Structure 1
Amino acid sequence: MKKIFLGCAVLCVLFTSCDYESKAYKALKMQNDSIMAVQERQSAELDEYLSIIQDVDSGFEAIRQSQNYMTVTSSTEGDPTSEMRNRVADNMYMINSILADNKAKIEELEKKLDNGNIKSTQLKKTVERLSATLEQKNAEITALQKELEQKDYKIDSLLLENQMINSQANDLAAENYAQQKTLQEQDAQIHRVYYLIANRKTIKSNNIDVKNMRSSLRTSLFTTADMRQLDRLDTNSKYAKILTKHPTTSYELIKGSDRKYSLIIKNPSDFWSTSKYLLIQID
């Protein structure tokens, strides 16, 4: 009987121990998962910080390279050439763009560090270094710009010109296109002529007055042509009479083997000099 009681007691202790260990394991696991989640968030934040820092440093390196070129240029004797002016303007425009971009990124870093989960003294020092570099570069570029302006580079006007050059080029292209189109339209209008080959009935029913073609003209009845490309009209009729006035020496009505008439315009400029309208009556 004592042995049975002792066995039951041992079993109770074992079950109690297993239950306690199970609860402790779950608590530890939850704690570990929470720590891992925090670490993952911090790792993602750190990667983002490092990426921004790398971008800012790359920007400063590009500025340093441009500074070196412009420093050498400013020490060149003599008046700057047009090519040198343009290159300096391009470099200065790029530098100003990078400085503005870096300023925005540094401000973003400062806000993220203030509100983020990572409280790193080293990161804070890095951002302070970037801010100091930005301030230093602004001062250096201002001094370099003044030095270049003393060399008659006129940076302000060059920058303005650089910024406007694309819009000016687009405006010029549009203006040239519009002018070209206008010239083409004017050219087409100057050489535009109208002709109609119709029988007596059609002419009469449409009240076409040969003596006053413009007032009686129904444009839809006439065919439009370019006088420079019109040197022959086939009437497809055995009778043809030109009702509008044209110099007789500038054209010829000829009869083909089928006894049908064709108009041959020998001198277009003379032919159309008296009228831009041609009316041929056929029966």
Structure 2
Amino acid sequence: MKKFILLLPLFIIGCDAAIENNEIIRLNEEKQALQDDLERKDSIIFVIVQSFNDIEDNLQTIKEKQGVISMNTSGDIESESSRRERIIEDMQMINEIMEENKKKVRDFSWKINSLVKEQKAASIKLADFQKMIDKLTAMVEAKDAEIAGLKNDLLSMNMSLDSLALAYDIQGFVVEDQAVALNTGFFCYGTFKELEEKGVITKKGGFIGIGKTEQLKQDFNTDYFTQVDITETETIDLFSKQANILTSHPSDSYKLEGDDESVDKLVILDPVRFWSASKYLVVVVE
């Protein structure tokens, strides 16, 4: 009995120590849980704030790109191809940034809602974060509207540029056609009978059939002529006994080559002067 009485205080002290130890363990666990929760919330808040800053930076980048695009749309047509490529690249970048912004806003909103649902964020000013979400959403939507307007402007610009390019191409064709026309000549040769039958020449003047001269018909048959590039045509083969140039050409701009009994070819000495009076050459041969 005496031993029991002596051991009782030690037992009580041991129980108290065990209780205190358990309490300490429990308090440490609660402290750790609170610390973990705080770190988790701090991590979420950091991500949210970082996302907010990223979105604002992205919107600033878009604003700068819009300014660049506006400058590019006011250039001249000479750099049209490279300018259009730069605009397309900038618009693609803007679209990518806008998609990234929308994703960040969705993630931003999801993180806030997760804190609310867990009811572990009483110390966090959720209302302030919701205002941030609303502000970012409004900014993104406003930027979407601006970009839509910019796309319409670019579409109109491209249509105008396409029309201008088409007009430029048409003008190029016109200039080319004009150059071809300026450098085009026509010739034919044959006996008087052949050329008369083909509707190229006739005889006029004289008296009672006497003294008539060979002349180019007023409405001569152009289909009988051969087309040539006057810048490349230097000679025309005739291979005849005699040759008479019926159409008007400066006498010093050409010569007939051959011998006393034949004319082999017509040599054009000065193409510009030779074809200046007439783009049609008619040679009567025998």
Could you tell me the TM-score, scaled by structure 2's length? 0.49
Q: Which has the higher contact order (CA 8 A, sep 6+)?
A: 1
Q: Which has the higher helix share?
A: 1
Which has more radius of gyration? 2
Could you tell me the TM-score, scaled by structure 1's length? 0.49
